[in-house]
């Protein structure tokens, strides 16, 4: 009789330069046995070995350094899901411009860069886009984290929170953001609330955020704000059960305004409180560090 407890496996993959080493360190802090750059063809044998050694929490990073065997990884992960393995796959992503900047700053060579050329930026961009093609299927099957504007400390916190959250049937992440800094790449739904009344133009409210009571009172007094909130609720109430039946474990709802400080923050807090009654709901304010410095 098989009496051992399930193995908890987290597979971290994603774009080179997106923060996989930081994520792996975060899981090491949580007591995971961590391995970087394990070849996919060794995955099942490695899990069996760890079970023999009574290792119950394992985190493995895989990426295009194993490019030749990557195409078989989705099949191997599906095989593990059919066994007594609790599997979470995290895919870390960033915009191409962000990745180019990070490689340029660190002077690291991209793993798919084959040769030196006169136009190094073009060569690096081509390598990154080719990497996206190779990882496209893995991305579709994973929980995606956009690290373009995320600091290392923030990423560690997000990974620790998400690994715990994925044990529930479906987790909702409500994320506020500023359109002027780009749309989050990990968003499943994006709602634009820039047409709503803006507390930014009130000198008393400008330095505050959507979590502060004076801003909340200002926005609650607007019929348009309340109508927008109800329409987003109606949309999500209709479609979230469909996504849950489709075995989605993680859905990100992004709410954007101009600065990501007032309107989007207010609505994210309200929506998370509402939907948190039926699902696990998490809040992420992407620009939090930004407004603390301005």
- Which residue positions form the known binding site for GTP? 63-66
The answer to whether 188 and 55 have CB atoms below 8 angstroms apart is no
80 contacts: CB under 8 Å, gap ≥ 6 = 9, 43, 44, 47, 87
CA distance 87 to 166: 9
Place of tokens 């400008």: 206
Q: Pick out the residues of the known binding site.
A: 14-21, 63-66
Six-digit token string for 60: 């493995």
Phi then psi dihedrals of residue 229, to 5 deg: -60, -45
CA distance 276 to 273: 5
Phi then psi dihedrals of residue 209, to 5 deg: -125, 175
Positive/negative CA dihedral, 55, 60, 66, 72:
positive
Q: Pick out the residues of the known binding site for ATP.
A: 14-21
- Rg (alpha carbons) of the chain, rounded to whole number: 21
């Amino acid at each position: 009789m098989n009496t051992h407890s399930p193995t908890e496996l987290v597979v971290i993959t994603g774009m080179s330069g997106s923060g996989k080493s930081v994520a792996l360190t975060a899981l090491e802090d949580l007591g995971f046995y961590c391995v970087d750059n394990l070849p996919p063809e060794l995955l099942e044998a490695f899990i069996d070995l760890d079970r023999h050694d009574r290792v119950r929490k394992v985190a493995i990073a895989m990426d295009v350094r194993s490019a030749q065997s990557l195409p078989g990884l989705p099949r191997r992960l599906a095989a593990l899901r059919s066994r007594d393995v609790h599997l979470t796959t995290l895919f870390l992503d960033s915009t191409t411009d962000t990745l180019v900047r990070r490689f340029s700053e660190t002077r690291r060579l991209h793993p798919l860069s084959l040769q030196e050329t006169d136009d190094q930026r073009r060569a690096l961009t081509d390598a990154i886009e080719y990497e996206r093609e190779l990882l496209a299927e893995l991305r579709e099957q994973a929980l995606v984290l956009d690290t373009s504007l995320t600091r290392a400390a923030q990423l560690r916190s997000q990974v620790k929170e998400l690994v715990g959250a994925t044990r529930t049937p479906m987790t909702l992440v409500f994320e506020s953001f500023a359109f002027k800094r780009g749309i989050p790449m990990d968003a499943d739904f994006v709602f634009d609330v820039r047409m709503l009344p803006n507390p930014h133009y009130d000198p008393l409210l400008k330095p505050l955020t959507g979590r502060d009571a004076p801003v909340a009172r200002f926005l609650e007094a607007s019929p348009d704000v309340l109508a927008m909130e109800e329409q987003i609720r109606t949309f999500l109430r209709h479609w979230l059960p469909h996504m849950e039946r489709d075995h989605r474990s993680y859905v990100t709802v992004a709410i954007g305004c101009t600065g990501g400080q007032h309107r989007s923050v207010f609505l994210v807090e309200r929506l998370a409180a509402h939907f948190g009654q039926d699902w696990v709901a998490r809040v992420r304010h992407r620009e939090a560090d930004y407004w603390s410095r301005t």
